[in-house]
Amino acid sequence: MEGLKILGKIELPEKKIRPEEYQPFLEEKLMSRSHEINEHWGLDFLDADGAIKIPDDENGVADRQFIFDREEEWATYQHKTVAEWQAARAKNPSLIAEMAVTLSLSRQLGERFIVARASAFDDYRYGVDNLLIDKESGAAVCGFDDVLGFTGDDGGSQKKQKMEKSLAAGGSRVKYGATISEGHLVRQKLENLPTFYLSLSKQELGDLLKDLKAGETVSEKERALGNKLIASLAEQQRAAKEIATNSALQKNLDQFNHSLLAMDALINKKELEPAQG
Question: Does a structural domain hold residue 273?
Answer: no
Which backbone phi and psi does 270 adopt, to 5 degrees?
-110, 155
Question: Does a structural domain hold residue 153?
Answer: yes
* Integer Cα distance of 20 and 12 in angstroms: 23
Establish how many alpha carbons lie within 13 A of residue 171's alpha carbon, considering only the half-sphere containing its beta carbon. 26
Q: Are 254 and 275 in contact (CB under 8 A)?
A: no
Question: Does a structural domain hold residue 12?
Answer: no
Question: What is the span of the domain harbouring residue 71?
Answer: 19-267
Question: Does a structural domain hold residue 1?
Answer: no
pLDDT at 86: 94
* Number of domains the chain is built from: 1
pLDDT at 2: 54
In order along its 277 residues, the chain shows pLDDT tens digits of: 455 454 555 554 456 778 899 999 999 999 999 999 999 999 999 999 999 999 988 888 999 999 999 999 999 999 999 999 999 999 999 999 999 999 999 999 999 999 999 999 999 999 888 999 999 888 888 888 877 764 444 445 656 777 778 888 888 899 999 999 989 999 999 999 888 888 888 899 999 999 999 887 888 899 999 999 889 889 988 988 888 888 988 888 888 888 899 999 999 887 655 554 4
pLDDT at 198: 84
pLDDT at 77: 95
Question: Does a structural domain hold residue 164?
Answer: yes
Report the sign of the C-alpha dihedral through residues 267, 268, 272, 275, in that order.
negative
Q: Are 213 and 165 in contact (CB under 8 A)?
A: no
Question: Does a structural domain hold residue 13?
Answer: no
* Integer Cα distance of 48 and 33 in angstroms: 9
State pTM to two decimals: 0.85
pLDDT at 257: 85
